[in-house]
Structure 1
Amino acid sequence: MNTKKERTLQLTLNVVGILMFMGVLIRWWTAPFSVSRDLQIYYNQGFQMTLNERKEFLAFVLCAASVYFSLVNVYFLGKTGRRLVYTVLVLFAVFSLYMMLTLLAVATH
């Protein structure tokens, strides 16, 4: 049974997630714009994403958003949901450390 406080927190986290991922998607259009040394904004064609980069970027954002919203909403299902979310976060942390060490080992050889 969700209390009003939990529902408000869940709604807040969902709204923050929507704003956050909308901000990430805005990068799609704002990346080619740069600021020169004399503070003039100009369009840099070299920063424009290719079609393949756009597909990869969109896939990354959609996957990250689905993980975020899934974890936020599972967290509020109860005690089991909280345990599941904490377990997933610990696994993400361990995997990130493993990948960091693997990439460091590859880069130094």
Structure 2
Amino acid sequence: MRVNFERSTKINVNTKKERTLQLMLNVIGILMFMGILIRWWTVPFAVSKDLRIYYNQDFQMPLNECKEFLAFALCTAGIYFALVNVYFLGKTGRKLVYTILVLLAAFTFSMMLTLLL
């Protein structure tokens, strides 16, 4: 009786590669959105002509803009992490992610045209 070990080995290697890629994309997303949120506090700082850092109150966001910025950052982070994790659920997850990305692209394009007109 012969046993085919080659097939089971390939499945484990692919699963490990997918998990590693998923972990890497999640870590990149965490760092990316932490950078976006850090912008909230670093925007009022500017550099003068003599290369000194100073605080400029004209650049500080009002409370209403801070709420909008925070809502934008949290919504985009939620969409990003949802899409990354759904993508690795299998073939159906990949199709769903590609469909959502095409719909987001179409929506973005239509909003761009609406704002231009």
User: Would the TM-score normalized by the shorter structure come out above 0.5?
Assistant: yes
Corresponding position of 2:76: 64
- Runs (5+) with no aligned partner, structure 1: none
SS in 2 for 1:77: coil
Deviation of 1:33 (Å): 0.3
Which amino acid is the alignment partner of residue 20 of structure 1?
A: M
TM-score normalised by structure 2 residue count:
0.86
Q: Distance in 2 between matches of 1:20 and 1:69?
A: 12
The equivalences for 1:67-82 within 5 A come to 67-82=79-94
- Runs of 4+ in structure 1 deviating by more than 4 angstroms, as ranges, are none
SS in 2 for 1:42: strand
Corresponding position of 1:7: 19
For the aligned residue pairs, the C-alpha RMSD in angstroms reads 1.2
Structure 1 residue 83 and structure 2 residue 95: aligned?
yes
Corresponding position of 2:28: 16
Q: 1:54 aligns with which of 60, 63, 66?
A: 66
Which has the larger displacement, 44-53 or 12-21?
44-53
Q: Distance in 1 between matches of 2:50 and 2:29?
A: 35
1:17-72 per-position Cα deviation (integer Å, ceiling 9, x unaligned): 00000000000110000011221111001111111111111111110000000000
Give the greater-gyration-radius structure (CA). Answer: 2
Q: Distance in 2 between matches of 1:92 and 1:59?
A: 18
- Runs (5+) with no aligned partner, structure 2: 1-10
TM-score normalised by structure 1 residue count:
0.92
Which amino acid is the alignment partner of residue 75 of structure 2?
A: C
| Percent of aligned pairs with the same amino acid | 77
Structure 1 residue 43 and structure 2 residue 55: aligned?
yes
Q: Distance in 2 between matches of 1:14 and 1:36?
A: 37
